[in-house]
Amino acid sequence: MREVTATILENKKIADEVYSLTFATEEEIPVRAGQFCMIGVSGHALRRPIAVCKAESERITVCYRLKGEGTRKLASDYKPGEKLSVLLPLGNGFTLSDGQKKIALVGGGVGIFPLISAIREFSQNKELYAYMGFRNRAAVCMESELQRTSRFVVATDDGSAGYHGTAVQAFLDEFDTVKPDAVLACGPTPMLRALKEATKDKNIPVYVSLEERMGCGIGACLVCVCGKKDGSRARVCKDGPVFEASEVEL
Ligand SMILES: Cc1cc2nc3c(=O)[nH]c(=O)nc-3n(C[C@H](O)[C@H](O)[C@H](O)COP(=O)(O)OP(=O)(O)OC[C@H]3O[C@@H](n4cnc5c(N)ncnc54)[C@H](O)[C@@H]3O)c2cc1C
Ligand code: FES
């Protein structure tokens, strides 16, 4: 993990309430799919955790949805050329074995962003099937990245684009045809809970990336702990954010 002062290259709106922020670090920092960074926003003591979407040598891109004060300030006040304080890379990221060839990616809301990094890392040697859920047509983004997969399904809550329903429903509709070896998922907890329940008898590993409030992002403050099936507690920032769904309480 490094603390860097990065230079902002771009910070632009890419969909309704969604921004793409690209910054340059002074030297290349290796980042694995599913890892995240903590971005400092002036006037806020706590950094904001955001998944890394793309890491191309010194250029790192994250995408964020406007939520509260921190993300709104990031969108309005941080311009190209300005400095940004970032901790990265953080967390464990997604790991797949050689035998896991056909991979389903199931994402909802801001959960699509860590899955973009999985597409970038795994598209060379895995067959990827992406099921991505958005609120509506105006929220759909990152299509050129998602189209790097063998199959890409957009699902919208209101049916204004693609499949009318959730990403989990879209995935389950095609499960028997695709027969994936593993699933990588990220999204709101109710979505991950529904996915865990629906796949519990399917005998495939489901790796979920969890979203918890964070203080430090480096395993020191215990703000982000989640419960594990064996009764122990895990820190989402340090032991996760990726866990096998069967191991954690959702
Ligand atoms: C590992 C991880 C990766 C994430 N990746 C992304 C991403 O790629 N794109 C994206 O848009 N969002 C992502 N999030 C969610 C993002 O961190 C929150 O939306 C953001 O922190 C909200 O900050 P705010 O100041 O705008 O909102 P406020 O609600 O004002 O924030 C108040 C406090 O709560 C925390 N907080 C609020 N909502 C969340 C949340 N959902 N998850 C974690 N902390 C939260 C904030 O960090 C801050 O400390 C991720 C969260 C985690 C844990
Ligand atoms: S955020 Fe501090 S331990 Fe996870």
Structure confidence by residue, pLDDT tens digits, 208-225: 999 999 999 999 999 999
pLDDT at position 158 is 95
Cα–Cα dist 26/147, whole Å? 31
Burial of 250 per CB tally in 10 Å (0-12, 13-18, 19+): middle
Looking at the chain, the domain(s) classified CATH 3.40.50.80 span: 102-209
pLDDT at position 123 is 94
Report, as an integer, the average pLDDT of 6-18: 96
pLDDT at position 68 is 97
**Overall fold of domain 2-90:** Elongation Factor Tu (Ef-tu); domain 3 (2.40.30)
| Closest atom, ligand 1, to C-alpha of 224 | 53
Q: Which of 37, 87, 238 to mutate to test the pocket of ligand 2 (most atoms within 8 A of CB)?
A: 238
Cα–Cα dist 31/28, whole Å? 9
* pLDDT interval class at 60 (50, 70, 90): very high
Residues 235-244: tens digit of each pLDDT: 999 999 999 9
Q: Is the CB of 216 under 6 A from ligand 2?
A: yes
What tokens does 174 get?
């095609």
Edge-to-edge order in the sheet of strand 242-244: 163-164, 151-156, 127-134, 102-108, 182-186, 206-209, 242-244
pTM above 0.85, yes or no: yes
* Best CA proximity match to 245, nearest among 223, 228, 232, 233: 228
Cα–Cα dist 182/203, whole Å? 9
Residues 61-117: tens digit of each pLDDT: 999 999 999 999 999 999 999 999 999 999 999 999 999 999 999 999 999 999 999
Q: Is the CB of 38 under 6 A from ligand 2?
A: no
Q: Which residues pair with 186 in a beta bridge?
A: 107, 209
Report, as an integer, the average pLDDT of 142-162: 95
Looking at the chain, the domain(s) classified CATH 2.40.30.10 span: 2-90
**Overall fold of domain 102-209:** Rossmann fold (3.40.50)
* pLDDT interval class at 186 (50, 70, 90): very high
Indicate the Cα dihedral angle 149, 153, 154, 158, nearest 10°. -170
User: How is residue 90 annotated by DSSP?
Assistant: E
pLDDT at position 47 is 97
How far is C-alpha 208 from the geometric centre of its chain's CA atoms?
Answer: 10
Burial of 49 per CB tally in 10 Å (0-12, 13-18, 19+): buried
* Best CA proximity match to 148, nearest among 169, 112, 124: 124
Q: Is the CB of 47 under 6 A from ligand 1?
A: no
Rounded distance from Cα 130 to ligand 2 centre (Å): 30
